[in-house]
Amino acid sequence: MSLRPLLDFLLYDWLDAPSLSQRERFADHSRETFDAVLDTCERIARDKYAPFNRIVDTQEPRFDGEKVILPQATHDAHKAFVESGMMSAAQDYEIGGMQLPYTVQSAANSFFAMASVSIGSNMLTSGNANLLMVHGTEMQKEVFAKNEFSGRWAGTMCLSEPQAGSSLSDVATRAVPDEAPSVAADGAVPWNQDPLGPRYRLTGNKMWISSGDHELTENIVHIVLAKIPDENGKLVPGTRGISLFIVPKKIVDTDGKLTGERNDVALAGLNHKLGWRGTTNTLLNFGEGKFKPQGSGGAIGYLVGQPGKGLHCMFH
């Protein structure tokens, strides 16, 4: 059985998705618009994803010392996906979305997963932006989330560490207030008054970060779990002390423009992950000193939500 008849059965015969159009948010939609979305995604998956599923296995990502090289097929597929509008399909019209029911968006995205799960790794960007739309400040939504939904920037989720694996209570990445004032157009900005969020400097390592480095987009927004030391400089044991930070690969201003500075986030290595070679899987070093954003070492990160509530935000 092909995927489309199965999706039609699940959406229309079982879940009765067209009935959602009775709700004000989805009043512009009907089975016809849902079918149009499915048609578009099926076509893109067939043309830009499926034919290259084997190629991305044999042409693995590689690092030339300055940038990551991915197969052209990945670039072409990502471009087609972004242009389809599916990155922000379930979002409000006001931010470029279609106000599509998430049920339909999820069903449509299954075409990409079936055609090539490793090329179709855009879901991390959507998840990252969705998190910020709920827990971020208005400025964080405007600068980071909206540029992810548009496809201009990509996003990651940085949880695991080499020594900790999935044991998040053992997270050792540190975040300390950036006491050196950031220089902005209107003068020095104290760390706790930065318009992008309270500003910290992060040091640590994150492992198994999907899409952690690439050239598909002009910037990458890392969402990073880290611990803020207590007054004695020690990390709080367990998960209680974990906070969440936005750490862009490249520093941006409050208008979402690149400043020309690289943040102190360095690619330490590429993992060769079976079935996941249409994108990268990475080891990232935060604050190793390779780059000196605003004249200092340490990756600049902006606090999301409240200190110590990082897991609550990350697993939204």
| pLDDT tens digit sequence for 192-233 | 999 999 999 999 999 999 999 999 999 999 999 999 999 888
Do residues 146 and 88 lie in contact, with contact meaning Cβ atoms separated by under 8 Å?
no
Given this model, what pLDDT does residue 73 score? 93
104-131: pLDDT as tens digits: 999 999 999 999 988 977 678 999 999 9
CA distance 262 to 278: 25
Select from 161, 163, 143, 162 the least CA-distant residue to 153.
Answer: 143
Do residues 249 and 180 lie in contact, with contact meaning Cβ atoms separated by under 8 Å?
no
Q: Is the pTM of this model over 0.75?
A: yes
Select from 55, 121, 73 the least CA-distant residue to 279.
Answer: 121
Given this model, what pLDDT does residue 181 score? 60
CA distance 74 to 125: 15
CA distance 235 to 232: 9
Res. 166: pLDDT tops 90: no
Given this model, what pLDDT does residue 240 score? 83
Mean pLDDT of 32-41: 98
Res. 259: pLDDT tops 60: yes
Given this model, what pLDDT does residue 100 score? 98
Res. 185: pLDDT tops 70: no
Instruction: Please give the single-letter amino acid code of residue 194.
Output: D
